């Protein structure tokens, strides 16, 4: 069994002032217990990434860092809100090379912290990536559960390599993190990229509980955004499907043409307002949908070509162990 001497836990935090005290206490207790039973070495710590919070999150991270020892809890403050995915990348970049493995998870600890133990065991047995997968979606609202299912179905149909019910809770070895950081793209969709990286991987099942403190930062609009982001950053099938729709619509137009010709020859023409207006609307919307999909990809190319930095670190608190 290989050793895990240095373990880091990265928590992206956006307006998490209310939850951090509870989360850090719970996490450090779990990590201390893991150290006690010999699963990990004595160099373990929690890195909170303040993703441009508007509440007192950064002050809270500073206080917790002082309370738990500056090596145990540290924080990096990003200059503005860059979103969940980029905040995770910022955390990973910060700890890369300074630890043997990293666990990323949401700051509200909705994902069962006790699964870290199993993740660590799998790492020690040789896994480079261990994905946390929810057993079910009982703790989600009706709307969230159903939109999530639709999201995974859509992902499957576009051949995007996602593991259903796996979110951002996972353990990665230092090597896997360094490889991940070589992906230069701006439109990051970690839960698609990471399972597609290869490496010896495994999953750990856990139950997700409702959020204890604070509220969700993923309203419906954000989730939709995330779904479009996920699909278009991985698959060009939607663009291809436009081509297919175009062919089908051409064939349809041809048969309509034959029908119209026959009607004219037989002298059976009607005042065609209804069919005209219908086809105008139909074709008009088809063109708009097609343009929309193409626009989504062109937008992505635009962002990638600019290759802007993903984030800026404004300040750092606490020392890395």
- Binding positions for ligand UDP, rule: CB under 6 A: 12-14, 16, 51, 81, 83-84, 87, 106-108, 110, 216-218
Give the interface segment with Mg ion, choosing from 82-90, 100-108, 180-188, 231-239 (CB under 5 A).
100-108
Across 247-282, b (16+ Cβ under 10 Å) vs e yields eeeeeeeeeeeeeeeeeeeeeeeeeeeeeeeeeeee
Q: Which residue lies nearer to ligand UDP by CB, 140 or 296?
A: 140
Q: Are 71 and 308 in contact (CB under 8 A)?
A: no
Torsion angle defined by CA atoms of residues 229, 78, 75 and 167, in that order, rounded to the nearest 10 degrees:
0
Q: Indicate the residue among 16 and 128 with the shorter CB distance to ligand UDP.
A: 16
Tokens 């949401």 correspond to: 106
Q: Which of 223, 208, 37 is closest to 111 using CA atoms?
A: 208
Min dist. Cβ of residue 86 to ligand UDP (A): 8
Residue 84 touches which of Mg ion, ligand UDP, none (CB < 5 to 8 A by kind)? ligand UDP
Site string for Mg ion, 301-320 (x = CB under 5 A): --------------------
Q: Which does 217 bind (CB under 5 to 8 A by kind): Mg ion, ligand UDP, none?
A: ligand UDP
The residue sitting closest to ligand UDP, measured at its beta carbon, is 216
Q: Two tokens at 196?
A: 């597609």
Q: Is residue 110 near Mg ion by the rule CB under 5 A?
A: yes
108 in contact with Mg ion (CB under 5 A): yes
Closest to 242 in 3D by CA, of 162, 297, 304, 161: 297
Q: Half-sphere exposure of 262 toward its Cβ, with a 13 Å CA cutoff? A: 6
Q: Kind of pairing, strands 43-50 and 313-317?
A: unpaired
Residues, the chain: 321
Q: Least CB distance from residue 216 to Mg ion, whole Å? A: 6
**Binding of residue 106 to Mg ion (CB under 5 A):** yes
Shortest Å, Cβ 150 to ligand UDP: 16
Contact window for Mg ion (CB under 5 A) among 54-62, 107-115, 190-198, 312-320: 107-115
Are 94 and 78 in contact, with CB atoms under 8 Å apart?
no
Give contact residues for Mg ion (rule: CB under 5 A).
Answer: 106, 108, 110
């Amino acid at each position: 069994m290989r050793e895990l001497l240095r373990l880091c836990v990265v928590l992206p935090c956006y307006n998490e002032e209310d939850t951090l005290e509870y989360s850090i206490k719970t996490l450090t207790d779990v990590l201390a217990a893991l150290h006690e039973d010999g699963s990990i070495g004595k160099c373990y710590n929690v890195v909170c990434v303040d993703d441009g919070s508007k509440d007192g999150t950064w002050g809270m991270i500073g206080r917790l860092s002082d309370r738990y020892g500056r090596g145990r809890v540290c924080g990096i403050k990003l200059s503005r809100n860059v979103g969940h995915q980029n905040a995770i990348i910022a955390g990973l970049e910060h700890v890369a090379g300074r630890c043997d493995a990293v666990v990323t998870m949401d700051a509200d600890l909705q994902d069962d912290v006790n699964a870290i133990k199993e993740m660590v065991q799998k790492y020690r047995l040789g896994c480079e990536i261990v994905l946390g997968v929810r057993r079910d979606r009982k703790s989600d609202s009706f709307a969230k559960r159903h939109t999530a299912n639709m999201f995974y179905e859509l992902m499957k149909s576009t051949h995007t390599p996602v593991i259903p019910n796996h979110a951002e809770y996972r353990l990665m070895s230092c090597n896997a993190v360094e490889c991940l950081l070589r992906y230069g793209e701006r439109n990051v969709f970690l839960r698609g990229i990471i399972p597609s990286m290869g490496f010896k991987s495994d999953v750990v099942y856990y139950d997700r509980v409702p959020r204890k403190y604070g509220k969700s930062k993923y309203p419906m609009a954000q989730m939709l955004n995330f779904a479009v982001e996920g699909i278009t950053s991985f698959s060009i099938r939607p663009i291809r499907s436009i081509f297919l729709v175009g062919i089908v619509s051409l064939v349809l137009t041809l048969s309509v043409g034959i029908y119209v010709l026959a009607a004219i020859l037989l002298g059976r023409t009607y005042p065609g307002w209804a069919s005209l207006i219908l086809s105008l609307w139909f074709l008009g919307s088809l063109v708009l949908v097609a343009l929309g999909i193409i626009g989504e990809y062109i937008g992505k190319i635009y962002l990638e070509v600019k290759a802007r930095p993903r984030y800026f670190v404004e300040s750092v608190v606490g020392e890395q162990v």
